[in-house]
Amino acid sequence: MTTKQRFESVLDWFAVNMPIAESELHYANPFQLLVAVVLSAQCTDKRVNMVTPALFAAYPTAEALSKASVQEVLEYIHSVSYPNAKAAHLVSMAQRLVAVYGGQVPDNIDDLQTLPGVGRKTANVVCAVIWNQPTMAVDTHIFRVSERIGLTTNSKNPLQTEKQLVKYIPQDLIPKAHHWLLLHGRYICQARKPKCESCGIQPYCRYNKTSAAS
């Protein structure tokens, strides 16, 4: 099976069996999504969704958050991973949003990455989810799953994975493909013990030694 054939087979399966694939983070606007994604770094979406309702109620806009102290924000997010650093990033990010972008979340990767606490992955998520742009955010799930399945080969870092994925995934499918791979890694192709027996893409998977791809 060629790489192109594997991509086509995997994407076709997801399109039929997971037609709706969306972020599991709760948000109501671009600003809230940006904050939630920053908080989600090395933290579960479930935990982030537990802290954001109160945080968003207290700071509904970039302007409001920009006036908060780091300690005040920390009180809302202390249960997430790396709360001190994230609290500082959120305040600084809001201040830059107000000062440079009029309180509005930028709609491109380059500008987003100028915000404190926002790396390429976060920028890609925001562009894909909010503006449906063909940006592929690579988190730990996607990095692992792509290599395990055989969509990528010898990828050493998230950027290499991103480049290999966007080479073969049609642009209009990239935003949804991000969620397909992420959710598959979160619930089926798990790190320690992948659930191969209940995996629909098993016939196309490089990892499964008994599959047609082996």
CA distances from 111 to 42, 45, 98, 106, 131 (A): 23, 25, 13, 6, 14
Q: Kindly report the length of the chain.
A: 214
User: Of 94, 88, 143, 102, whose CA–CA distance to 120 is shortest?
Assistant: 143
Where helices occur in 25-153 by DSSP H, the ranges are: 30-39, 45-58, 62-66, 70-77, 83-101, 109-112, 120-131, 140-149
Which of 86, 139, 167, 176 is an active site residue? 139
Q: Catalytic annotation on 139?
A: yes
If you compute the radius of gyration of the chain from its CA atoms, what whole number of angstroms results? 18
Which of 46, 86, 121, 167 is an active site residue? 121
CA 23/CA 195 separation, integer angstroms: 22
User: Of 114, 54, 61, 58, whose CA–CA distance to 89 is shortest?
Assistant: 114
CA 89/CA 35 separation, integer angstroms: 10
Amino acid at 68: A
Q: Catalytic annotation on 46?
A: no
Catalytic residues: 121, 139
